[in-house]
Amino acid sequence: MLERMEKIEKPEAEDCHIFTGSIDPEVPGPKWVLQAEKLKIGYEKDKPLTGEMSLRIRRGQKIAVIGPNGAGKTTFLKTAAGLLPALAGRFEMGQNVFPAYFDQHSGQIDSEDSVLDHFKKHFPALTEKDARHELAAYLFRGKDVCKQVKDLSGGEKARLVMAELLNERPNLMLLDEPTNHMDIAAKETLESAFKAYTGTLLFVSHDRYFIDKFATRIWELRDGHITDFRGGYKEFSAWRERQTLVTQLEKQKEKEQPKEKKPKPERPKNNDKAIARLEREIQRQEEKIAELDKLAEQYATDYQKLMEIQAEKEELDSGLMELYERWEELNA
């Protein structure tokens, strides 16, 4: 099982920048940042991309939205940003939420200005020294700041925009594939910035190294609904793998033994006290296991809790096997 888990080994870049302090929003904002209630998203009323979704985002969460191409991730983020109306239900921002939104076009800036001038126009109060200092943290070092924006590569433009967005100190960042076209050093710099960022982050990415670095929660948008997974990418991918395996095994079992149930010990013919006691114990154990199964369904997306339930179940299972064996011995 372990070997089958997806390995996440991050490539190392020497020339990236690691943020050591925290990047704090100008104002912390409310406890509940975004709330979706019975929300359906899409473009045509009679063809929603999703069923009803009810979700909420708490201050400080860092949520990665993942899912297959065309699932509706960009549509979801645009609806969250208020750029697209909901097809049904609501998607509401809390009071005093100051969002920054980055979509795939945000990085397409074109200007005769130098990198330094472009940055300073956004932050006129900054001294040249401070502006250079900020830009250096996003890998525009030395002569880089004199380059004209129009001559930057796609990845460099996106990096400049991201530096400007983060320096605005929003308390919510909605980002659609922010690392597209970026090289490894730029990606790792951004990873570090998002790790240092203490605001709320809702971002779409296909890059599992990037997601794994700082996402605390995974929302998988697939087949018209979101699975809310409370954990990082590694745990998510292990959980997904297990889910797939369990489904496969169940299908296989159904094929092999269509209606056969787990064999249960038959009622003993004699009325020996020891056997009766054993049977009561077996029944109690079976009930406990059934309760744990129900609990596991309830916590289907909570990795930590599932592991605890699983461990408890395994213990009960092995105890139950012993009870069965003893019962068979007594009835032999």
Q: How far is the CB of 70 from Mg ion (least distance, A)?
A: 8
Whole-number Å distance between alpha carbons of 157 and 181: 10
Q: How far is the CB of 211 from ligand ATP (least distance, A)?
A: 14
Q: How far is the CB of 135 from ligand ATP (least distance, A)?
A: 30
| Residue number with the smallest Cβ distance to Mg ion | 74
Q: Which stretch binds ligand ATP (CB under 6 A): 64-72, 128-136, 236-244, 313-321?
A: 64-72
Q: Which stretch binds Mg ion (CB under 5 A): 73-81, 144-152, 227-235, 260-268?
A: 73-81
CA-closest candidate to residue 211, choices 186, 231, 185: 231
Q: Which of 73, 118, 208, 213 binds ligand ATP (CB under 6 A)?
A: 73
Residue found by looking up tokens 């912390």 in the block: 28
Q: How far is the CB of 224 from ligand ATP (least distance, A)?
A: 11
The CA-to-CA distance between both ends of the chain, in Å, stands at 38
Which CB, 135 or 204, lies closer to Mg ion? 204
x-or-dash pattern for ligand ATP, window 276-295, by CB under 6 A? --------------------
Q: Which of 36, 39, 71, 87 binds ligand ATP (CB under 6 A)?
A: 71
Q: Which of 25, 29, 48, 72 binds ligand ATP (CB under 6 A)?
A: 72
Cα distances (Å, whole numbers) of residue 36 to 54, 93, 148, 205:
5, 9, 42, 21
Q: What are the tokens at 243?
A: 């889910």
Q: Which of 35, 61, 74, 180 binds ligand ATP (CB under 6 A)?
A: 74
Whole-number Å distance between alpha carbons of 98 and 241: 37
Listed in sequence order, the residues at least 6 apart from 172 whose beta carbon sits closer than 8 Å to its beta carbon are: 29, 33, 34, 93, 97, 98, 99, 100, 199, 200, 201, 202
Q: How many residues bind Mg ion (CB under 5 A)?
A: 2
DSSP H helices in the chain: 73-80, 115-122, 128-137, 154-167, 184-196, 208-214, 233-256, 273-298, 303-331
Task: Say whether residue 70 binds ligand ATP (CB under 6 A).
Answer: yes
Q: How far is the CB of 72 from Mg ion (least distance, A)?
A: 8
Q: Which of 8, 28, 56, 74 binds Mg ion (CB under 5 A)?
A: 74
Task: Say whether residue 43 binds ligand ATP (CB under 6 A).
Answer: yes
Please provide residue 197's backbone torsions phi and psi, each rounded to the nearest 5 degrees.
-70, 130
DSSP category for residue 175 = E
Work out what residue 123 binds among Mg ion, ligand ATP, none; the CB cut-off runs from 5 to 8 Å by kind.
none
Residue type, 142: G
Instruction: List contacts with ligand ATP (CB under 6 A).
Output: 43, 49, 67, 69-75
